[in-house]
């Protein structure tokens, strides 16, 4: 069973790793691992007072781990709450006589209650700031008219429109939510704003309904209603109607959308809109792990068009995406291409070049920061000028690379080092304790390891020559970093049985004789071993299962 604790709540003592057993280990597997460690750490096997004291501490730790994992009820609590769930406070959460299944149900119920309390406190704010910039004077100027004017040699760039919108959600109950939103807009000196209040109720697992009330100085009062309903597991429908009151009278509007899963990754949509801008629209959207494709066709007043777009998703840690689209209709033709990339944990930066007839050339820059969006459309020229297309394409790329190298990377690196330092400081005492336990365990293993090596040598079996655990520096670009590894040759040899070594899928820092030499950093286990007189070598990730010997680990004598 996987632990339901968050990463920052995981206890330092991993009982499964300590006994080197799977999380699905049977009672027989637990008993065999326990007996093996008892023979190693039993205090009566050591005469030296200091070794005897160290053996007693480790023996008690192993005994505690076995007692918990061999008791189905205690094991269920440990799997859910971790080690601290076994304290008195943890036991008070559930009745002692409950079965593991009942304990898990109780935990899920408590989790649901906690989620409901979090829901009551969450407002989920969302906002958008859009600043439109007119930079046509950069590429399309009448030089003769400006030569005699003061400052005429400097291109005139101005902000010609702005839009700000914000919304918050206020959960009233587990099924009812109030959504308050507002916006302000200005264009060439003229502007206005509006405010909206929506009340949403989840009526069942299949649908919800929403009432909307709005008012503003640009459109007048608004009353609307929206309904969502799952018709089948693969099909849903939304219907929306509204009444817009203005000085010109009442303007009704209706919109319906029918959507269906065509396959696992593809959705089909049919939309019908009646009102101020009536239209019929059909679209197909295919979204996979590596790409996103959209085809749309609309017939309507005043706009009819065909649109095709494609986005490729790189499988890198920065979640880089490149995209392109073509849209053609009564308004003309527009070609767009661009890219976006994650620049920090909560921020995504994107740039798109738009080239159209008769729209001209524009550059659109967008920054998503958590739930806030900042949008900067820059209109460069009303004509199709190659210079405008070139600078709109190359300019953002050069600017991004400079900012990435001079600001973003140093900031992210410093932030990561700061977080690691805080983590090291908070866990320093615990790591010191684990290190002392590991060193004590290695001392206690010496005699057992000597006997194991003698037995393995007699049968040409498995001999661990060298083993290191921690952070290895293999990338040439990171040569300035220092490797942080510990020697775990003795602990690994001690785990060898019948010329085999098996490590389960768990962090290896919890194994007897191991500890974490680099808290918060990626770790690996590197093993150089001999089997049947032949040299072998393997590098294994911290959470990866490992079985040796293997033919694939063999070191070719010719290389």
Domains of the chain, by residue range, sit at: 15-113, 126-140+156-165+279-384, 172-276, 426-553
Q: How confident is the model over 498-518, as pLDDT tens digits?
A: 899 988 888 888 888 898 888
Strand 501-503 to strand 266-274: parallel, antiparallel, or no bridges (unpaired)? unpaired
Give the pLDDT of residue 91. Answer: 45
Mean local confidence (pLDDT), 79-86: 69
Q: Please give the span between the terminal C-alpha atoms of the chain, in angstroms, as a whole number.
A: 43
Helix (H) or strand (E) holding 317: none
Distance from C-alpha of 265 to C-alpha of 263, rounded to nearest angstrom: 6
Model confidence band, residue 89 (pLDDT cutoffs 50, 70, 90): very low
Q: Where are the beta strands (DSSP E) in 135-175?
A: 158-171
Residue 336 has pLDDT above 80, yes or no: yes
Nearest to 313 by CA among 342, 346, 353, 334: 342
Walk across the sheet containing 484-487 and list its strands.
484-487, 462-471, 524-531, 534-541
More confident call, 108 vs 333: 333
For the segment 240-258, the average pLDDT, to the nearest whole number, is 89
Cβ atoms of residues 74 and 91 within 8 Å? no
Identify the CA nearest to 443 among candidates 8, 101, 53, 127: 53
Average pLDDT of span 418-439: 81
Dihedral sign (CA 538, 542, 544, 548): positive
User: 168 and 179 in contact (C-beta within 8 Å)?
Assistant: yes
Mean pLDDT of the chain: 83
Q: Is the pLDDT of residue 340 over 60?
A: yes
Q: What is the pLDDT of residue 5?
A: 35
Is pLDDT above 80 for 426?
A: no
Percentage of residues in the chain having pLDDT higher than 70: 86
For 422-444, give one letter per residue: b (16+ CB within 10 A) or e.
Answer: eeeeeeeeebeebeebbebbbbb
pLDDT above 90 covers what percent of the chain? 38
Residues in contact with 390: Cβ distance below 8 Å, sequence separation at least 6, in sequence order: none
CATH number of the domain located at residue range(s) 15-113 in this protein: 1.10.287.110
Mean of pLDDT values over 105-117 = 65
Q: What is the pLDDT of residue 443?
A: 86
Greatest mean pLDDT among 96-110, 120-134, 241-255, 411-425 lies in 241-255
Nearest Cα residue to 101 out of 70, 82, 83, 75: 75
- DSSP secondary structure, 213-249, as one string: EEEETTT--EEEEEEEEEEETTEEEEEEEEEEEETTE
- In this prediction, residue 151 has a pLDDT band, given cuts at 50, 70 and 90, of low
- pLDDT at residue 316 greater than cutoff 70: yes
Q: What is the pTM of this model?
A: 0.62
Region 319-327: mean pLDDT is 94
**Residue 20 Ramachandran class (φ > 0 left, ψ -120 to 50 alpha, else beta):** left
CA 292/CA 329 separation, integer angstroms: 22
- What average pLDDT score do residues 342-352 get? 87
CB-based contact 507:461 (threshold 8 Å): no
Q: Given pLDDT bands bounded at 50, 70 and 90, which one contains residue 247?
A: confident
Residue 284 has pLDDT above 80, yes or no: yes
Model pLDDT, residue 138: 85
Provide the token pair at 512: 């007897």
In whole angstroms, give the CA distance from residue 38 to residue 18.
Answer: 12
**Span 236-251, mean pLDDT?**
88
As a whole number, mean pLDDT of residues 169-173 equals 84
**Does the structure show a pLDDT above 50 at 389?**
yes
pLDDT at res. 84 = 64
Region of poorest pLDDT, from 21-35, 356-370, 524-538: 21-35
Q: What is the dihedral of CA 435, 439, 441, 444, to 10 degrees?
A: -170
**Which residue bears the tokens 């959460």?**
93
| pLDDT digit string, tens, across residues 13-71 | 678 888 888 888 888 888 888 888 888 778 877 777 777 787 888 888 888 888 888 88
pLDDT over threshold 60, residue 145: no
Query: What is the separation of C-alpha 196 from the centre of its chain, rounded to a whole number of angstroms?
Result: 33
Mean pLDDT to the nearest integer, 185-213? 91
Cβ atoms of residues 307 and 325 within 8 Å: yes
Q: Is the pLDDT of residue 125 over 50?
A: yes
Q: For 24, list phi and psi in degrees, rounded to 5.
A: -100, 20
C-alpha span between 384 and 175 (Å, rounded):
52
């Amino acid at each position: 069973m996987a632990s339901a604790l968050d990463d920052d709540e995981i206890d330092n003592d991993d009982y499964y790793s300590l006994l080197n057993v799977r999380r699905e280990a049977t009672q027989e597997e637990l008993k065999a691992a326990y007996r093996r460690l008892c023979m190693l750490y039993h205090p009566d096997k050591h005469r030296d007072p200091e070794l005897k004291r160290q053996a007693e501490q480790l023996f008690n730790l192993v005994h505690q781990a076995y007692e918990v994992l061999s008791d189905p009820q205690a094991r269920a609590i440990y799997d859910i709450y971790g080690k601290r769930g076994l304290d008195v406070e943890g036991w008070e959460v559930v009745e002692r006589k409950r079965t593991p299944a009942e304990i898990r149900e109780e935990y899920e119920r408590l989790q649901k209650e906690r989620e409901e309390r979090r829901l009551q406190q969450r407002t989920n704010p969302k906002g958008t700031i859009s600043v439109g910039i007119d930079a046509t004077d950069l590429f399309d100027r009448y030089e003769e008219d400006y030569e005699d004017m003061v400052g005429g040699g400097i291109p005139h760039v101005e902000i010609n429109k702005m839009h700000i919108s914000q919304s918050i959600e206020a959960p009233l109950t587990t099924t009812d939510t109030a959504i308050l939103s507002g916006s302000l807009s200005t264009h060439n000196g003229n502007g206005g704003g509006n405010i909206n209040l929506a009340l949403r109720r989840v009526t069942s697992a299949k649908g919800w309904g929403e009432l909307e009330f709005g008012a503003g100085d640009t459109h007048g009062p608004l009353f609307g209603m929206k309904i969502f309903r799952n018709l089948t597991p693969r099909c849903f429908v939304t219907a929306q109607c509204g009444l817009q009151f203005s000085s010109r009278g009442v303007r009704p509007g209706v919109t319906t959308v029918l959507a269906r899963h065509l396959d696992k990754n593809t959705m089909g949509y049919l939309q019908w809109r009646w009102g101020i801008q009536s239209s019929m629209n059909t679209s197909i959207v295919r979204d996979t792990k590596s790409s996103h494709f959209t085809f749309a066709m609309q017939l309507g007043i005043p706009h009819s068009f065909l649109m095709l777009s494609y986005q490729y998703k790189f499988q890198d840690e920065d979640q880089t995406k490149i995209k392109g689209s073509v849209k053609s209709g009564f308004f003309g033709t527009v070609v767009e291409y661009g890219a976006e990339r994650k620049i920090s944990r909560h921020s995504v930066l994107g740039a798109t070049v738009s080239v159209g007839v008769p729209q001209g050339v524009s550059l659109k820059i967008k920054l998503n920061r958590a739930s806030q969006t900042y949008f900067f459309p820059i209109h460069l020229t009303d004509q199709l000028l190659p210079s405008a297309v070139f600078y709109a394409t190359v300019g953002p790329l050069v600017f991004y690379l400079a900012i990435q190298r001079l600001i973003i990377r140093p900031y992210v690196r410093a932030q990561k080092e700061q977080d690691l330092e805080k983590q090291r400081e908070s866990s320093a005492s615990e790591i010191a304790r684990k290190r002392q336990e590991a060193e004590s365990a290695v001392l206690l293993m010496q005699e057992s390891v000597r006997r194991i090596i003698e037995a393995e040598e007699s049968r040409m079996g498995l001999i661990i020559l060298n083993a290191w655990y921690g952070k290895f520096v293999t990338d040439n670009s990171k040569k300035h970093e220092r490797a942080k590894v510990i020697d775990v040759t003795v602990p690994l040899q001690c785990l060898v049985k019948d010329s085999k070594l098996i490590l389960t899928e768990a962090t290896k820092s919890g194994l007897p004789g191991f500890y974490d030499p680099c808290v918060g950093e990626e770790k690996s286990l590197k093993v150089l071993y001999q089997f049947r007189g032949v040299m072998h070598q393997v590098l294994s990730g911290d959470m990866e299962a490992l079985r040796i010997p293997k033919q694939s680990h063999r070191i070719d004598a010719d290389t």
